[in-house]
Structures are given as structure tokens and as C-alpha cells.
Structure 1
Amino acid sequence: MPRYDQDDQDEDYDDLDDAHPWRQRLVTWALAALGLGLGFLIPYTLYLNHQVSQRFGALQWQLPTRVYARPLQLSPGLAMDAQTLKTELDAAAYRDDGAGTRPGTYARDGGRFTIASRGFGDIDAVVPARRLQVSLSGGSVASVRDLARGQNLKSALLDPARIATLYGQKQEERRLVRLEEVPELLVTGLQAVEDRDFGTHHGIDLSGIIRAIWVAVRSGGETRQGASTLTQQLARSGLLGIGKEVTPSRKFNEILFALILEARYDKRTILEAYMNQVYMGQRGSQAIHGVAAASEFWFGRELDSLSTEQIALLIGIVKGPSHYDPRRNPERALDRRNLALDKLHETGLIKDPEWKRARAAPLGVTRTPGMAAANRFPAYVDLVRRQLARDYPESALQGAGLSVLTGMSPSAQAYAEGAVTRTLKSVENKKRPPLQAGLVLTDVHDGDVLAVVGSRNVSQPGFNRAVEAQRPVGSLLKPFVYLLALAQPDRYSLASYVDDGPVTVQLGKNRRWNPTNSDRRSHGSVRLVDALAHSYNQATVRIGMKVDPERLVNLVRVLAGIQAEANPSVILGATDQ
């Protein structure tokens, strides 16, 4: 049996080490690099995981506060002509499509309107959607009929017009939806076009990344192919605080965020967040986010009423809302929409007849954005802001997604604006500076403010003369004078007689005040109720001096918030408010 000397073995190992020293160094360097990488990657991943918990875990979006007019109540006998009803429908973004079958549309045949109303949440109840037939005759509503039930109604409510949108720090227009509220074709079609492996991957598509790198290398960097999954798109949408700049560090963060999202949340949660967060367009400073807001913005429709071609256009816009803007770049948008339709057809989501019909259909976008501008009625909204600021802290309003219901009547507002414009035009001349105006219209039955006009430029924000301008209160204070008198039943009643003859009030320092009536006449002894009804100044001053101007000032301060000096002239409203 052969023997091996230990020294010989050691020499052999030494020779082996001397022959391959680079292997040892390579292994050492690799282990060191791995250790450093893990030392950085593990803490950094834990940090990003914390960011996901804070930003995505709560799923809190900044939602604008929406301000609405009053719901339109239609009932037989209500004063209403065809033009007024059309004004109300147009303000509430109803479209005349000639059929009136889809919610938010109507058809007109002379004085007969067929209206497909939208359901909405009123103050005390949920009002369901209905298909109504409203007949007008002789300047009023003749009948209101529920077409589905085939019966006449005593009254029906139409959803209110949105008159303003109050944004928080971010100018984001968004309407939250649950995944089951999104059309099935939009859910499956988005995956078919943007991320076919969404249901199986873990946040990133390795084959897609390799394919994109290969295309970029072959073209010398001139051609780029997208490889981002829906999860990656969500990660860079702004919800997690990373930008959209094309840098290796941003892409690295995007991949890590996508992996973390997939590890922590199920596919349904990720897809629902995507449907509410994806950027879909821009209107001035307002960014349109989410498919529900996009449906209203591009088509003026509810999400559940979109056609196949409109769903395909929404899917196509996702890739680049500015590049594929159908209002500015209709040809480019049409090509992108048809590409999306082809993908839907290839994957079996739509059949041949529907594919051919949808491909031949026009884009179907509205000429102007379907949603209301941020502030259509600046003077009225200024009044709303003041009342909100009085009742709520500013932090409770920004991005809180509140719905503010007002008493505004869009038709009354339109008539008020027209009246101001016509009146100014009729009284102005070139010899004097342009006149200004302010108007407040209230409902005599319930006190609701129906319309506000703040200046001659009715649609421009600025100094609100209806609310901010100081002017004498005048005869508005006279009812308070008589209220104080009638609070003394042993001295006054409505049938009591008062003197409406000439009156002199001593003011001190040998000064006198001699008020007169507006008709420059005295009316002798008149009943108290007649003095109030005819707004007689002399009789009112006599009563006011007896009840004491100091008491009048205290009363109007408590009841109306009017601050005034306790001078005799305050009896006739000589105080600016």
C-alpha cells in the first residue's frame, strides 16, 4: 500500500494556491460585494416598506370638495318654460342625444322633455335614477310621468348641477370607485393592453425588461419599449412619492416598490388603487386622476354607460394622456384606440362584429370637458366659502371630499346675470365711467339664496359687490323698530295710532334733525301697521325715539350681526354694512 508524506501533500496545496491566486481574490471580492449589497439593500428595503405602509396602506387620496346647486323639483303647476328647463338641464351636464335613455341625457319635442335622470344622494334620502316625461304648457309644468312605471307623479327630483370644486393643496379631480363598479371590459382590457401577466407576476415582468433592453441595444438607444407592469405604473404614479424622471435610481426604487406592493397586497387591492390613481388628463391646473373622473372629463358620461370604443380610448390614453389627447391630437388618439381594440379582439374580449363596429366608430369625446369648471359662479361661490369658513376650520375642508349642497337655482342665476348685463347697458353712456353692479336673489318662501352676481363681469372672480361692498342698511331696520314697540303690548299694538306729522329730534350742540317721508308728505294719524307697511319715516322716528335707539342697536346686533352706533339716525338705517 503506497504511503504519502505529509510534507509532500502540503507542497502540492501550496503549488495549487500559487497557481490560482485570482480565484481566492474573486471569491473574497464577491462575498464582500454581496455583504455590502445586502447591508445596503436590506435596510433600504425596510425603509421603503415603511413608506408603503404610511402612504399606500391608508389609501388616502386628496378629494376635492364639490359644491352643488339645489336639486330641481318638478311638479305639476310649477312655473317653468322650455328654455328655463333646458338651462337647468344644461347646467347639470345633461346632454340632448335625441333619445333620453342613458342617465344624464334628454330628448326634447317642443314642450315635452324625456329625461333620464341620474340617481344621487340627497340630504335625507337616496334618490333613484328615473326616466321621466315632463310636459310643459302655458309657462308651467303640466305633468310629470314615470315612463318605466307608466304613472303620473306628484313630483320628481333631478340631480343638482355642480357649480364649483374646491381643491386642497393638490389640484386633483378624482371620483373614487370600487373595482366592482368599473366595467368588466375596462378591467380585463387594461390588463390585456398594458400588462397581460398581471395575474401571475410578482410586481415586475423580467421577460419584458429583457425584451426592452434588447430592443434598446439593437436600435442604439433610439427605440424604447415599455416594460412596466401595472404595479410599477402605480408605484410611480405619485402615490408613493417617487417621480417620473427616467433615471436608474428612480427605476430601481420603482422596481423595489412594485415588489413590496405585490408582497403586501392582493391583486384586487392593487388594481382598485390603480383605477383611482392613474393620471388621465389635464384641464388647466386640474389634474384628472382615475377612470371615473376620466369618463366624465372625456365623454361627459358615467363610467357604467361607456361603449366599447370609449373604453378602448380610455385604455389607450393611459400610456400618455398628453400625447394621445383626443381633443388636441385626434388622429394619434384614434390610432391608439384602434390598437387597444385590436388587442381586445386578439385576446377574445370582444367578438368580430363588435370589433368592426367599434373600429369604425368616431372617438366620441365631447367638444369641451364634461365636468364643470373649478368655479363657474365666482360671486355665489364666494358666499359659500365665507359660510364654510365660519362653520369649519380650513383643515377640515382641504381634500376632504365633502359635498356642499346650496340653494342656488342655475336658471335664476342665468336670468340674474342677464338682467345685470342688460340693465347696465341700458343706463350707461360714454360721458361717465363704467358702472358696477351687485345682485342677491332670495326665495321669499324659505330664504334660500338663489343667485348672486358680484360685478358687471359676472364670470370673473374679484371684488364681490353683492357681499363685500358697504352700503346703508336703510329701511331694513324699520321692522326691528316696530318689533321693539310690539314687545310692549300695554303701549302698542298693530292697531295703535301714531303721528306721522313733522318731527324734530334734538342732537345736542344746538343741532336738530328733521327727517321727512320719501313722498315729502305728512300723513297725520295712522295706524301702526300702516306706518310699517308704507315705511313712513316720521312715524317710525317717533316710535324709535320712544323705544330708545340703544335698545334697537342691541337688538340688530344680536339678531342680524349688524354693528351700529346708537344715534337717532340709526332708526332709519343710517349705518353701512
Structure 2
Amino acid sequence: MNYGKRGTSKKQKSMNSKTAKVGKKASVIFIKAFLICLLAVGVVGLCGGIGIVKGVIDNAPDITSASVIPRGYKSVMKDAEGNKTAELVTAGSNRVWVDIDQIPEHVQKAFVDIEDERFYEHNGVDLKGIIRAGIRGVTSGFKRTEGASTITQQLLKNNVFDFMSEDTLAEKIERKLQEQYLAIQLEKEMTKDEILEAYLNTINLGQNTLGIQAASNRYFNKDVSELTISEAAVIAGITKSPNKYNPVTSPEDNAARRELVLEAMKKNGHISQAEYDEAMADDVYDRIQTTNKAKSTAEVYSYYVDATIEQVINDLQEVKGYTSQQAYNLVYNGGLTIETAQDPKIQAIMDEETSNTDNYPANVKIGLEYALTVEKPDGTQTNYSKEMMEKYFKENESSSFELLFDTEEDAQAHIDAYKAAVSEDGDKIYENINMTIQPQVSMVIIDQSTGYVKGIVGGRGEKTTSLSLNRAVDTTRQPGSTFKPVSTYAPALDSAGKTLASTQYDAPYNYDSGKGRAVRNWNGENYQGWSSIRQGIAQSMNIVAVKTLTDITPALGITYLENMGITTLQTETTADGLNDYTQTMALGGLTRGVTNLELTGAYATIANGGVYCKPVFYTRILDHDGNVLIDNTEAVTRTVLKDSTAWLLTSAMQDVVTVGTGKAVNFSGMSVAGKTGTTSKNNDVWFVGYTPYYTAGIWAGYDNNHKLNSKSGETNYHKKIWKAVMSRIHEGLSDPGFPKPASVTSATVCAASGKLPIPGVCDGMVKTEYFAEGTVPTEYCDVHVTGEACVESGALATDACPVHEFRVITLVPENNSVSGSPLVAKPCSLHPGNVIGSVVQPTGNGSEVPISTEGQDASDSHDDSEEDTDE
């Protein structure tokens, strides 16, 4: 820049020139015009925006205090033949109205502090909350968001907008604007106490309860007026997500939310530090009831109805965009017609056979669930859980004591003895008793071609409550060997280069390349040597399965399991260092286990030619006016396996029921395939199998993981029930078999190697096997060699063997616990000495390859893994 005299003078002349003046004037005109246009656009936009907002508000429903009082129509559920199976009504929702003056102050404040801490300050819309939520969303890149809806808005959403879906962004914005407008209007109509009263009486608090009084009765078996600060925080914590923060099914999640409630109450001055500390120290979850004690005249729903309700509520949220409260209200108040996939004939047969005492062992037990609260005359309370009761009798009666009894009278006698031990005269007793017949059972039947669940049984014995424990859908158990086909063999055949002829060496084997514990077959030390995958499936050989999963990796297995609908896998490492990417997954050793429904759905994928159909309980949901809300008649499918893989697995699992571990389930007149499963300590037994028509899974065991007694028949009754049910539902049906697809061919192989046989060497081990196109072996057998062998042991002869001859010798892995270990010829261990003679490996073209035996003697054949290590 030139800031001297000449430069400045020159600049002034330039600015005063005519050209410069014209240019400057034009610039000013342009800027003015631009600002005028910008202002005009702003005015038009503002007017348009005002018009849009006005239109949205004009479309909002009229609002009065009566608008937020519960109302609605009963919903009806029907089976596949149109028969009514249940009426879902408000009375069944366990709503009990309670006036605001009957709700303790600390209960009111628990909800206000966690849901809307400025409730008594705003006019229905919390601007500070909206700004805070917006800032939090922006600063976190919208990865962490929080709600800004006030209690007034929530009341409107749950009772005025409860049946309205929000499928698009425009609908969401429209609904939010209407909600905010009506919240302001409602605050003019009702007092804060009236709004809070309506809110606390209509909020969804999980476990089929609406409102604080029903929830108090449901979870603590007491009136709302008796709730402690700790208990109030538990219930208030449910509000954000009744499924996620359910204190019965998810106590850990609820506990974290409860702590936030208590912190908010302390921060806002509604409880003292001492009250906070006392509440935090309370073992509140020990006394939460696991069964519904609320008074209701509603019918007890079947297990099928229970499962359908859960799926409908979930789908209304996932598919239609409803909140959990809106979905719940729609099911119980919306006048829906829910058309289910339930086949009444199949369901009746399942109910009959699972209720038939002749199908069960004679030694029936009674399982006890028990919770006790003892209140002293001064009002102090002590809670006792079932674990505390069990510990008491372990210390005072027997170290092997369990809450399992021969009769209900025996169970009651122990209850009375325990109460006498922990209480005194003058104490008040509050108890929750649930006695259940044991061992238990669950069963699922699916039409594999559609995914329709035709029937379920969630347990044996009388069902006394709706939405109670459903062992077919809710309970996760260890699947044992039923997991082998879906976790290991399906991916191995489908994409990992394995065939049904592929072999593993069945001999003593330890996890973690020999450094871990021993893997044991179900039949002990009856090792089979070289065994094919087909043999491994038919005879449920654990070592074959574990070695195969090790070859293909657990990660591949988990990918296939997830594609077949298994959702309970632990894919993230827990704080304890646990996940399911382990060798034990081959045998069903899982962190959490699987549900019967999902395991049966996975097998249905194989039965359906490799195509997964999501299991569904209902076909259509119609609204009160007959319009279709959700249509499930078109199956949600995905191809998981090649049709050749599915057929090969079916072929092998047909062997299970004809010559293998599942012969007890086979019945005449119908093709059957499937797999047995037993966990290592006999805690769980399974059979999951299928016909050309249906896939059925059955589980049996004790709810408390008590060991099943094989001598009394407890490990086999499930097979008897499976056969009884499936043979009856297939009466009159023709057997089309399992047609072999064009993608499957056959070939002759050596049974020991799974490869092409060498003439004159493999002659005694030749068999015909099925293969997917393109997977027929092209290499020749590499496990058979020739040399001098001990006649007595069959191993390489030593100079100490009394009789030896030239014959075929089978190679074995040098270290059976290490994947890919070299194959060697083991010297005779019966007659230690130096190996004699030479060993050669014949090839397919007639030549021979020498095999080195240098340095081998009988001591090399010792394998530490042969030591018996029981799981």
C-alpha cells in the first residue's frame, strides 16, 4: 500500500472522478434493491410460515378436561379360523383411578423431578427444556438426544394423540406443533394438580398396568399411599421406556434410572441427603413382585395371546411409529381386530399333550418363588428374598437344600417355618408366593413356508395370570447340541469349503489349542477316530463340532446365526470379559442362551430351503373402522443358505432320527429331520425338528436349573411329547419328502479323509455322499498309508511287536488339539521300541511317496489330553 502524500492525493482524485461516482451510485442501488428483496422474501416466508402454523393449529382437535380422561373400545383377537380367542379391554389393563390428594407428595415429586422439573412454572410448553434439548443434540452431533415434552404434553400425547401414527417428518412436526398448542390451551382449562392427577392415572408403567395405583399394587402389593421414596423412584423410573426400565425383567436398567430420579429429587430440594442415602441403601428389588396381584376380573390370556400382544405392541412402535404408551392404548382401547396365525386344532393338540401327566416322569416337584416383607410395630421393614430363604435352610437343614419340594404342603410348611424364624408376634407380614409344577416344558410350532407361529406352549400347569412368564418366548436357556447345525455346520457347508464328507479326528481334545479344558463327547471316551460331518451331526459328536467351528471361526458362525434370527448373542464383551465368539458356541455354550421361538425359527430356515421367514403371531391388524394397520400376510424373508446347504443339512438330520440320537421322535408316514440337544450338566434338554409342513422346537428342564435325572426319565420326556404332538397334527397329510434340488449331486469318497478313494488302499472305507455342485473333492485320500503294522494294535510296528505285517495304516494328527496339525503315523504303544520298516503314501496316479518315521518311538504316541477331565 502507498500511504505517502502522492498516493493519498492520487486516491482522492480517483474517488472524485465521474466514473467512480457512477460506480458507487450503482453499488448503493444494488444493495438497496437486494435488501428490499430479502425483506420481501422474509415477509412472504413469515406470512407463509404463519399460515402453515395456523393451518396446523386449526386442524388440532378440540381440547377440554374430558379429552384426557381414559376412553376407548375393546380390541378382539381371532385365530386363523376366525374364532375369537381374547378380548383386550381397559379393565384388563389394571387401571385403578386415585385422586391427587391420595398420592403422597414424594410420589408426585418423583415424577415431576425426572419428567418435567419446571412443571409448576411453565404454561404447558417448556422453552428452556426445548433449548437445552436442542443444544444437547447439536453438540453431540445428534447422537445423544433428550426429550423436552412437558407432563402436559405427555398427557395429551397419551390420551388425545394416542391412536395417531407419525410416519413422516412432516407428520411428526405437525403433531408436535398441535401438541404444544393444545398444551397451552389445556393449562387454561385445568389446574396443575388436575393435570398431574390425570397424568399419574393414565401413564403406562409396564407389566399391563396403567397409572400409579395399579403400578403400586403390581410391583409392591400395596396402596400408592404406602409407597416409600425408594419405591416411588422405581416406578417413576419406568416412565421413559416401560420395556427397557421394567423393574421385573430389567432390574439393572431400572436401578440406573431410579438413581437419576433420586438425584433429581435431592437436587430440587424435595428429599434430604439422609432420605437420599436411605433410599439408595434400600434393597428394593428384592421385594418387587414377579406376579400380578392387582385385582382384576379380566380373563387370563393364553400364552399365545400373551406373545401376540407383545409382538403387536412392538410392531406398532417399529412399523407405525407409535410411542409405547400410544401402542399400549391402541391395543387395549383402540377397538382393534387382531387376526392371528394360531391354528386352533394344532394348539389344542399341543395343550392336550403338554398337559397329559402320562407324558411326564412320575417324580413331580413343586418349585417355589417367594418374597417376604416383615414390618415391625414401629413401621420399620425388612425384606427377605427367595435366595435368603434358600440360604437359611442350607445352613439349618441341608447344604443341598433347594426351593424344590415333593408337595405344595411341604413347600408351605417350609414357608411357615421361615416366617417363624424371621418374625415375631405383632409383626405385619407381606408375602408373595408362587408355586409351579416342575420340571417344565415349552414348545413352538411354525409353518416354515410363511413364518406363521401355529401354536405355542409357555409352560405346563395352570396359567393363573396374563402376561406371565412365557418359557417359549421370553426365557433364554442354553441350547446344547441343537446349536451345532445352525452355529457351525450351516456356515461350514454354505461358505467355508466344508462338505458332509469332510472329516475331523475324534480323539481327546482340549480347547484353546490344548491349553484349555477338555472337550468331552456325550458318550464319554468312546472316540471314533476320523469322522465325517454327517457322522458328527447324526451321533452328536462334540469334538467334531468344536474342531469344525474352530476351522471356520466363531465370527462366521455368529453372522449366520444373526441372519437366522437369533438376537440373544453376546457380541459385545461384557465387563466380566464374556462374549460368544468362543469355541464353546459350537456346543451351545452361550453367555445368555436362546429362546425356543428364535431357535425354532432358525431351524425353520433350513426347513424352508435356506430362506428365513420372521416368526409372526398375527397376520393382520385392523383398526376400529376396519382399515388395515399392519399386514403380515407377506412374509418378511431373507435368503441365508443356499438351497443345497439346506438340503444337505436336512439329509444329515434325517440320520439323527433314523440311526442317531433322535430315534425316539420318529413316527411313521412322514419325513422327519432334526437335532437333539442336552447341556453338559443335564440342566436343559431339547429337540428341534421339522417335516415338509412344520418346524417344532421343544425344551424341558427346571426353572431353577436343577439337574434333570436321567434315571427317572427326566431327560427324555420332551421327545415323547414332540412325537405325540407332531404325529397327531400330521394325521391325514401326505408325505412329499424333502425333494433334492438340482444343485446337489453325489460322489464316491474315502470315509476317513472325505476325499477321492485310492484303489487298493481305501477299499474298505469307500462310501457315497451328497455334495453341493462344485464341491465334489478333486484330491485323493491323504490319511491312508502302507507299511509294517502291529497286528495287535494296528499302529506302526516296532522291533518289540511280536507279530506284524504289511498293511494299510491310518495317519492321525500329531497334536489333535491344534488346528491344522501335521498328520503322522503313530508307533505301537503296546510294544515300545524302534519303528521297523518303511511307510509310503500311495497316490491316485499309482505312485508312492515315502513317509518319514525318523525319531519316532512308542513314547511319541503319549497324549496328555487322554486324561479324563470331566466338564
Q: Output the TM-score relative to the length of structure 1.
A: 0.42
Ranked by relative contact order (alpha carbons within 8 Å, sequence separation 6 or more), the top structure is 1
Q: Output the TM-score relative to the length of structure 2.
A: 0.28
